[in-house]
Amino acid sequence: MNVDTVQADVQRPGNTFALGSLVADAARALENVSATPRLDAELLLAHAAGVGRSSIVAFPEREASGEVEARFRALLTRRLDGEPLAYIRGRKDFHAISLHVTRDVLIPRPETECLVDEALAMIGARTDCSVLDLGTGSGAIALAIKQARPDALVTAVDASAGAVAAACANTASLGLDIRCLESDWFAGLGAERFDLVVCNPPYVRSADPVLDRALRHEPREALDGGRDGLDAIRTVLNEAPAHLASGGALLIEHGHDQQADVVALASERGYEIVTARRDLSGLPRFVMLQVRKPEL
Ligand code: GLN
């Protein structure tokens, strides 16, 4: 069903539209686009009306004004074109925070929330832990860690100026005190060392058709990890030992079919594998590494 059909279906005498029927018809239209069509429709209508989703759900019989309805249809057209809901609304919830997201940043994923939990478990009883988020994008990992552990000294870097701007804006609006810098991996950090380096690098293979399909709205440089998807991971593995404090750890997210390769690359470079974990969908997704101590 396209948007014109939606319009025809829900049109009533007097040209007004009940919220419930706008949602129901939009949800039907979104069935092939979204895994959560009704939720998307409710959130888009709430966004168009400038109200919370609960008002849409609680008062389906209310009529939308012509202005709200026009705004809603414009948003729905974007969603039907496959644009992610987070870009249309400009927001994404992540861990215990809500982030502003722009087209300059990857939309934070639920699997990356597990990376934050893993980082928090590693910080554990250590106080004033220095943490670096490499390729921070919206600032999601860095800010979620700082929110949970205000004592941590958190730095967030990204090679993209647009991403650094987005991370800085989120830092200010959340009132969290982290340092955001433009830096191509470790290049802008001098000889600084950190207790914990966390990284969600680009790891999708360049030829993976998903880059031109489901992921086409997101910045390619945040997703494309080169021919085997491991280019950024190799760089980070090569450079991290010079930036890890004694006893420090490197926590990396990777593709669901890359754990064995990442473990091999890390072992070749003298790392010890502390943990290799799955995400909430049960897919292998992270490794925690430490630099192996030289044999005495
Ligand atoms: N998990 C993301 C996806 O496949 C990829 C994120 C990344 O490359 N870091 O949608």
Q: Give dist(CA 181, CA 171) in Å, integer.
A: 12
Tally of helices (H runs) and strands (E runs) in the chain: 11, 11
| 160/253 same-domain check | yes
| 150/284 same-domain check | yes
| 127/269 same-domain check | yes
In 74-227, DSSP assigns E strands to 91-94, 97-100, 130-134, 153-158, 179-182, 194-199
Q: Give dist(CA 201, CA 247) in Å, integer.
A: 23
| 163/139 same-domain check | yes
* 110, 116, 122, 124: CA torsion to nearest 10: -110
| 13/145 same-domain check | no
Our answer on whether the CB atom of 211 is closer than 6 Å to any ligand 1 atom is: no
C-alpha 230 – ligand 1 centre gap (Å): 12
What are the residue ranges of helices labelled H in 50-82?
53-58, 66-80
Q: What is the position in ligand 1's atom list of the atom closest to the CA of 253? A: 9
Q: What is the CATH number of the domain that holds 43?
A: 1.10.8.10
From the list 65, 67, 68, 62, the residue with the least C-alpha distance to 49 is 68
Our answer on whether the CB atom of 204 is closer than 6 Å to any ligand 1 atom is: yes
* CA-closest residue to ligand 1 atom 4: 204
The SS3 assignment for 247 reads: strand
Kindly tell me if the per-residue pLDDT of 11 is higher than 60.
Answer: no
Q: How many domains does the chain have?
A: 2
C-alpha 228 – ligand 1 centre gap (Å): 14
| 68/198 same-domain check | no
The SS3 assignment for 158 reads: strand
The per-residue pLDDT for range 103-125, each reduced to its tens digit, is 999 999 999 999 999 999 999 99
| 43/163 same-domain check | no
Query: What is the domain extent for residue 212?
Result: 95-291
The rounded mean pLDDT for the chain is 94
| 46/179 same-domain check | no
Q: What is the CATH number of the domain that holds 165?
A: 3.40.50.150
The per-residue pLDDT for range 248-296, each reduced to its tens digit, is 999 999 999 999 999 999 999 999 999 999 999 999 999 999 998 766 5
87 falls within a domain: no
261 falls within a domain: yes
Q: What is the mean pLDDT of residues 205-224?
A: 97
47 falls within a domain: yes
User: Identity (one letter) of the amino acid at 122?
Assistant: M
88 falls within a domain: no
Our answer on whether the CB atom of 136 is closer than 6 Å to any ligand 1 atom is: no
Tell me how far the alpha carbon of residue 291 is from its chain's centroid. Answer: 28
pLDDT in the model for residue 296: 57
* CA-closest residue to ligand 1 atom 9: 202
Dig out the tokens for 161 from the structure: 């100026």
139 falls within a domain: yes
Q: What is the position in ligand 1's atom list of the atom closest to the CA of 109? A: 1
* CA-closest residue to ligand 1 atom 10: 215
The owner of tokens 């991290």 is 240
For 178, phi and psi rounded to 5 degrees?
Answer: -125, 160
Q: What is the position in ligand 1's atom list of the atom closest to the CA of 200? A: 9
C-alpha 57 – ligand 1 centre gap (Å): 32
| 233/261 same-domain check | yes
Our answer on whether the CB atom of 258 is closer than 6 Å to any ligand 1 atom is: no
Among 36, 54, 82, residue at a domain's last position: 82
| 38/176 same-domain check | no
| 246/187 same-domain check | yes
Among 82, 104, 129, residue at a domain's last position: 82
The per-residue pLDDT for range 17-67, each reduced to its tens digit, is 999 999 999 999 999 999 999 999 999 999 999 999 999 999 999 999 999
pLDDT in the model for residue 170: 98
Phi-psi region of 229 (alpha: psi -120 to 50; beta: other; left: phi over 0): left
Q: Model pTM? A: 0.92
* Other residues' Cβ atoms within 10 Å of the Cβ of residue 279: 18
| 172/232 same-domain check | yes
C-alpha 222 – ligand 1 centre gap (Å): 8
Among 50, 82, 114, residue at a domain's last position: 82
Our answer on whether the CB atom of 203 is closer than 6 Å to any ligand 1 atom is: yes
90 falls within a domain: no
From the list 277, 225, 7, the residue with the least C-alpha distance to 106 is 225
What one-character DSSP code corresponds to residue 204? B
Pick from 10-14, 87-91, 171-175, 285-289: least confident: 10-14
